[in-house]
Structure formats: structure tokens, C-alpha cells
């Protein structure tokens, strides 16, 4: 975007020098990390244990300690983490799995790939996470379609934890498994509960642009349930327990590369610092923008890693264009609810539709957010939005 000649011309015409600004600045983080990552990779190359090497076990131990969960099982990516969780929960054909319609496609995609039926639910206006009341209504809809209400996947959108106390009550009432899609929220918390301890099972992603990202694809399943953990452990290795003579079930190949585990061990060490920096940046955005846009707020007791800093504006497209002309990148997460996209439009939705999701799709705008965003750059973004 920053090399687009039209963008440069616009910025020059506006009398400003187009300076490069990243939406997520992984190079700034790399400078902070120093040579630790290169040395960690070199150790893996020297040992040659590229699949399920000792760094994978060590990373799982450190992630479990970080979030206070009994089991962390690393896998290939956050989408596989969802598929593994559904398979481990015995969910498949004839089962309804309730998902918010305002989320990334992977949440619903995993349900379809597991053989179950996604049922789309609306989200809360306040946090953009799945609405427990809409969920309760959608359960009735699934029953009329003769589907078993089997599971809910709550998504901690933009880093903000879903309303787990309310969701746990609805899930219990209908005998459903509760899966937390924490691809955007590892490192967040709700009261005294770190993300990793909500629901029956939690999934996360280490995609490079996530708050805790590696340098490729990666993910993890997190649970306190010994039975679910055992099934995921077998399932990620083609359905065979380590050293077992036979394949006990049909699984998949979903392992985290040892190199990525070694990188994540280095990044996890600076993650608490980065979380604090993200909160400072979110506070500064809120102070500079609260009177001209709807800024995100935290539910009582909630802590967010701010995977995205997403404001709401009536003239979202105009603001995005003005910022782009000044060399400031923004993104729209998400422009269309899943149930209105070709891949998913034939699946059932909650009766009454998803008015909150529809409205969010028209008004959301995500601003540059990473732990290394400078005060100067942030002031530029705030000033640009104010003048737009
Ligand atoms: C990124 C993301 C995923 C998928 O993670 P991958 O590692 O890219 O497969 C799933 N759900 C949500 C909400 C995400 O943001």
C-alpha cells in the first residue's frame, strides 16, 4: 500500500511526506528480540529433530504455565486446533455447532470440515462476541431442523473475551460442549481466569500477525480435561498414540514445527511486556478518539491483548480512504457476516437475523496495533482521523 504511486501523490498533494507505517510491525519486534531467535533456530538445525522435537514439549509446558491450564497441545494452525477440538468432542454428522456470524471464516469452516452443521448466531453490541440470548434462540431453531445441539464456539473477537459466565450457563442448560476460539485472545483474561481456562476446550493460533505469533503457521489446543487432551494428542498424529502399534482412530497430520516452537519460546518471554504496551496504546487511542468515534471498551474485569483496535464510524470508508492517502494502513474486520458469504449462505441462522453483526460490518475500522507503535505514529493516526 505504501508503494502505491497514487497514494504517494495524494499524500504529497496534501503537503505531507508519506512515511512508511506498518499495520503490524514484525520487524520492530525482531529488533527487540535481538539474535535470540536466530540462535534458537540454529540449535534446532544442529540437532535435526524437526518434528515434535524437545522445543515443542518445552513450549507446551511454558504455555500451560502462562495460562494456568493443565494441558496445551501444539498443532499446525488455529483452524486445525478447532477441527481437533470438535473431533475430540465426538462432534460430527447430525450435530449443530453454534458460531457467531461476525468472525473469521475459520470458525465456521472447521465445523463443516468436521461434518457438523454451523448455525449462525448474532453478537453483542458491546464486545462483538457471541450473544448468549441469540444463542439460546438459535438452539430452538436447530431442534426444529432435527439437529442435535452439540456445541458452541465462542470467539474472543479482537482479543476481548466472550461473556463466558453467561455462555457456560446456556451451554450447560442444553448439554452442549463449549469451545473457546481464542485465536485472537491468548494472553487476555476475564477476572481471575486467564484465556485458556474457559469452557471445555480452548483453541489458539500463532499466525504471525496474532498477538503471540510465530514465523509461519502454528496453533494450540488448551484444556483441563484429561480425556479431551488424550484424544487431541492422538488425533494430531494420524490417530495413533506415540509408540502405539496401531492407529486407534482416523486423525490428521497437525503438528507444530520444532523451529516454530523454538521461535515461540523466545517470543513468549517478551509477551507480558508486549501485552502491557498494547494496553497503553489502546488507552492512548481511546483518549484521542472517544469523542469522534465509538471506541472499544472492556467488560468489567476483562483484560484484552488487543489483537485489533477496532473503532466504529458512520463514514468508515471515507475515513479509511483519507488515512490511506496519508500512508496510514487500516483494515476492515469484517466486511460481511459469514452467513451472507457464498461458502456459508445455505447453513441455518438464528431466527430474526443478525442485525448487530450487519451493523458492525458497515461501521468497523481496525487501526494499526502492535506493541511497537510509536507515540509519534499513533499521534499521526489520531490527528488524521480527527481531520477526516
Ligand atoms: C486467525 C483465526 C483463526 C485461524 O487461525 P489460523 O492459524 O490462521 O488457522 C481462527 N479463528 C479466528 C477468530 C482467527 O482470528
78 lines ligand 1 (CB under 6 A): yes
Find where cell 432435527 sits. 146
The model's pLDDT over 161-209, given as tens digits with 9 standing for 90+, comes to 999 999 999 999 999 999 999 999 999 999 999 999 999 999 999 999 9
Q: What is the distance between the alpha carbons of residues 346 and 53, in angstroms, rounded to a whole number?
A: 43
pLDDT confidence band for 20 (50 / 70 / 90): confident
Three-state secondary structure call for residue 221: strand
Q: In which order are the strands placed within the sheet that holds 219-223?
A: 71-75, 219-223, 201-205, 177-181, 148-155, 95-100, 117-121
Q: What contacts 119, CB < 8 A, 6 or more positions away? A: 96, 97, 98, 99, 138, 141, 142, 147, 347, 348, 349, 350
Atom of ligand 1 nearest to the CA of 218: 7
- Out of 99, 110, 183, mutate this one to test ligand 1's pocket (max ligand atoms within 8 Å of CB): namely 183
Ligand 1 centroid, distance to 114 Cα (angstroms): 16
What's the count of helices (H) and strands (E) in the chain, helices before strands?
13, 12
Ligand 1 centroid, distance to 254 Cα (angstroms): 15
Describe the chain by its helix, strand, coil percentages, rounded to 5.
45, 15, 40
Residue 19: what pLDDT?
Answer: 59
> Is the N-terminal amide bond of 225 cis, ω within 30° of 0?
no
Q: Rg for the chain (alpha carbons), in Å?
A: 21
The model's pLDDT over 317-368, given as tens digits with 9 standing for 90+, comes to 999 999 999 999 999 999 999 999 999 999 999 999 999 999 999 999 999 9
Q: What is the distance between the alpha carbons of residues 274 and 257, in angstroms, rounded to a whole number?
A: 24
Ligand 1 centroid, distance to 113 Cα (angstroms): 15
Ligand 1 centroid, distance to 215 Cα (angstroms): 15
Ligand 1 centroid, distance to 216 Cα (angstroms): 13
219 lines ligand 1 (CB under 6 A): yes
Ligand 1 centroid, distance to 231 Cα (angstroms): 21
pLDDT at 143 over 90: yes
79 lines ligand 1 (CB under 6 A): yes
Residue 258: what pLDDT?
Answer: 98
The model's pLDDT over 30-58, given as tens digits with 9 standing for 90+, comes to 999 999 999 999 999 999 999 999 999 99
pLDDT confidence band for 27 (50 / 70 / 90): very high
The model's pLDDT over 223-241, given as tens digits with 9 standing for 90+, comes to 999 999 999 999 999 999 9
- Out of 102, 105, 205, mutate this one to test ligand 1's pocket (max ligand atoms within 8 Å of CB): namely 205
Find where cell 504471525 sits. 208
Amino acid at each position: 500500500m505504501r508503494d502505491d504511486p497514487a497514494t504517494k501523490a495524494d499524500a504529497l498533494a496534501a503537503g505531507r511526506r508519506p512515511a512508511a507505517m506498518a499495520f503490524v510491525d514484525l520487524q520492530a519486534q525482531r529488533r527487540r528480540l535481538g539474535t535470540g531467535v536466530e540462535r534458537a533456530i540454529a540449535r534446532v538445525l544442529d540437532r535435526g529433530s524437526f518434528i515434535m522435537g524437545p522445543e515443542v514439549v518445552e513450549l507446551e509446558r511454558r504455555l500451560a504455565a502462562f495460562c494456568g491450564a493443565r494441558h496445551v497441545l501444539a498443532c499446525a494452525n488455529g483452524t486445525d486446533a478447532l477441527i481437533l477440538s470438535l473431533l475430540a468432542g465426538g462432534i460430527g454428522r447430525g450435530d449443530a455447532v453454534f458460531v457467531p456470524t461476525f468472525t473469521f471464516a475459520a470458525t465456521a469452516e472447521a465445523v463443516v470440515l468436521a461434518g457438523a452443521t454451523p448455525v449462525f448466531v448474532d453478537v453483542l453490541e458491546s464486545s462483538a462476541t457471541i450473544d448468549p440470548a441469540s444463542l439460546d434462540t438459535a438452539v430452538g431453531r436447530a431442534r426444529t431442523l432435527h439437529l442435535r445441539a452439540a456445541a458452541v464456539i465462542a470467539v474472543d473477537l479482537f482479543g476481548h473475551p466472550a461473556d463466558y459466565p453467561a455462555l457456560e450457563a446456556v451451554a450447560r442448560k442444553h448439554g452442549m460442549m463449549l469451545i473457546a476460539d481464542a485465536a485472537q485472545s491468548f494472553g487476555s483474561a476475564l477476572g481471575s481466569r486467564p484465556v485458556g481456562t474457559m469452557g471445555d476446550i480452548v483453541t489458539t493460533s500463532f499466525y504471525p500477525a496474532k498477538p503471540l505469533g510465530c514465523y509461519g503457521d502454528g496453533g494450540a489446543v488448551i484444556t483441563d480435561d484429561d480425556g479431551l487432551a488424550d484424544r487431541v494428542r492422538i488425533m494430531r498424529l494420524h490417530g495413533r498414540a506415540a509408540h502405539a502399534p496401531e492407529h486407534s482412530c482416523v486423525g490428521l497430520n497437525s503438528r507444530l514445527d520444532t523451529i516454530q516452537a523454538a521461535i515461540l519460546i523466545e517470543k513468549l518471554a517478551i509477551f507480558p511486556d508486549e501485552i502491557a504496551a498494547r494496553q497503553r496504546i489502546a488507552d492512548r487511542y481511546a483518549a484521542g478518539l472517544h469523542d469522534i468515534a465509538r471506541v472499544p471498551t472492556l467488560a468489567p474485569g476483562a483484560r484484552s491483548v488487543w489483537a485489533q483496535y477496532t473503532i466504529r464510524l458512520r463514514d468508515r470508508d471515507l475515513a479509511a480512504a483519507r488515512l490511506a492517502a496519508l500512508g496510514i494502513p487500516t483494515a476492515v474486520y469484517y466486511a460481511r457476516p459469514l452467513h451472507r458469504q457464498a461458502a456459508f449462505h445455505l447453513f441455518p441462522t438464528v431466527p430474526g437475523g443478525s442485525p448487530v453483526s450487519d451493523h458492525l460490518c458497515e461501521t468497523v475500522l481496525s487501526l494499526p496495533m502492535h506493541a511497537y507503535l510509536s507515540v509519534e505514529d499513533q499521534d499521526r493516526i489520531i490527528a488524521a482521523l480527527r481531520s477526516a
